[in-house]
Amino acid sequence: MTQSTQNRTTGRLMVVPALMVVAVFSLYPAMDSFLLSLYSKFPGPERSFVGLGNYLELFHDPVAHQAFVVTLGFVLLSTTLELLLGTGIALVIHERFKGRGWVRAAVLIPWAIPTVVASQMWRFLLNDQYGAVNAILFGDQVDAYVPWLADPWMAFGAIVLADVWKTSSFAGLLILAGLQVIPDETYDAARIDGATAWQRFWHITLPLLKPALLTALLFRTIDAFRVFDLVFVMTQGGPGDATQVLQFYGYKTLFTEGRVGYGTTISVTVFVAIAILSLFYVRTVGTKLMQREPA
C-alpha cells in the first residue's frame, strides 16, 4: 500500500519536468495569445479590452473569408495530391532493386531543403524572363513564355505544385513505414490463391496501409493549414490576394500593420481550427484504427 503510494508520488514527481516544459513552451504562449486576442491594440502605448470583438470582426471580414477559402483549397488540393504521389513513391522504394538505398535518399532531398530556399527556387523556375520552366516548355520561342505567378489561378497552382513537390516524399516516407509492417506471408498466400497484382494491392496493401495513410493525412493537413513561407516568398499573397492564406494574412496584420490583437485573433483561430481537425482525426479515425489493428 505505502509502497504503491510512494511509487505514485515518485512517478508524479518525475513527470513534473516534462509538464513544466509543456506549460512554459506550449500552454503559456497559447493562453497568452488568447488573452492578447481579446484586446484591440495598435502601434502605440494604449490598448483596450474588446472581449470577443476581434472574433466578431474576423467573422465579418471579407479578406479573412477569402483567405480562409484559399487556405482550405490549398489544404484539400495539396494533401490529396501528396497522398497519391506519396503512395506511389512508397510503393516504388519499397520494391527491392539495385541502388534502392540511393533512390530512397534521393527521394527525400526535396523534403530536406528548407522551405524558404525551395520557395525561392520555384520563384526562379517560374520566372517569366529566365525561368527554367518556360525554357523547357517553350525553348527558343521566347514570346510564348508565360508569367506563371501573374495569373491568379496559376499562381495558386504554383503554390500547390511547390508544396506537393516538397512534401510528397515525406508522405511517402510515412506510408513506406506502413508498407514495411505488412507481412510478406499475406502476399505469398494471395499469390497461391491466384490473386493478380492489382487484386493484391486493392485487397491487401491498401486496407493494411490505412493506418499509415491516415497518419500521413493527419500530418499533411495540419502542415498545409499552416502554410506561410511558400506564399511569403513566391507571391506575397498576390496577385489580388489570390494566394493569400490565413497565416500570411495574420502575419501581415500582426507584423506589418501592428494590429497585435487582431493578428493574434487570426492565429488563435487557425490554432483552434487545427486542434478541432486533429481531435476529429484522433476520435473518429483513431478509434477505427484501434479496432482494425487486431484484425
Partner 1 sequence: MKPFALSRFDLSRCYVNGFHVSFCITASSPLRRPSPWAAGLFAAAFLYNVPLTHGQELPADHHGSPPVTLHFVTWKADHPRAWDEAIQRFEQAHPHVRVKREIAPHSSTAYHDLLTQKLKNRDVSLDLFLMDVIWPAEFAAAGWALPLDAYFPRNEREKFLPATIASGMYRHQIYGVPSRIDSGMLYYRKDLLEKYGLSPPSTWNELVRQAETILEGERIAQPLLRGYSGQFKQYEGLVCDMLEFVGSHNGSFLTADGRRSNLTAPESLLAVRFVREQIIQRLATPAALTYQESESLAVFIQGKAVFHRNWPYAWGLANDPRHSKIVGNVGVTTLPRFSEGKSTSALGGWLYGINAYSQHPDAAWAFIEFMASPALQKYFAIHASLAPSRLALYADPEVLHANPQYKELFPVFQTAQPRPRTPVYPIVSHILQRYFSRVLAFPETDIIEEAREADRKINQFLSLIEDAKK
Is 238 a binder of partner 1 (CB under 8 A)? yes
Give the range of 10-18, 141-149, 161-169, 217-225 binding partner 1 by CB under 8 A: 141-149
Q: What is the DSSP letter of 41?
A: E
x/- mask, partner 1, residues 166-205, rule CB under 8 A, reads ----------------------------------------
Is 50 a binder of partner 1 (CB under 8 A)? no
Alpha carbon distances (Å) from 193 to 95, 179, 190, 201, 209: 22, 21, 5, 14, 21
- Contact between 175 and 211 under an 8 Å Cβ cutoff? The reply is no
Give the range of 101-109, 140-148, 270-278, 282-290 binding partner 1 by CB under 8 A: 140-148
Is 63 a binder of partner 1 (CB under 8 A)? yes
Alpha carbon distances (Å) from 63 to 54, 70, 146, 253: 14, 11, 28, 11
**How far is Cα 215 from Cα 10, in angstroms, rounded to an integer?**
34
Helix axes 115-125, 152-180, angle to 10 degrees: 130
Is 256 a binder of partner 1 (CB under 8 A)? yes
Give the range of 43-51, 110-118, 181-189, 210-218 binding partner 1 by CB under 8 A: 43-51
**How far is Cα 268 from Cα 134, in angstroms, rounded to an integer?**
40
Is 55 a binder of partner 1 (CB under 8 A)? no
The number of CA neighbours under 13 Å toward the Cβ of 277 is 20
Is 53 a binder of partner 1 (CB under 8 A)? no
Which residues form the interface with partner 1 (CB under 8 A)? 42-46, 62-63, 128-129, 142-143, 147, 149-152, 235-242, 252, 255-259
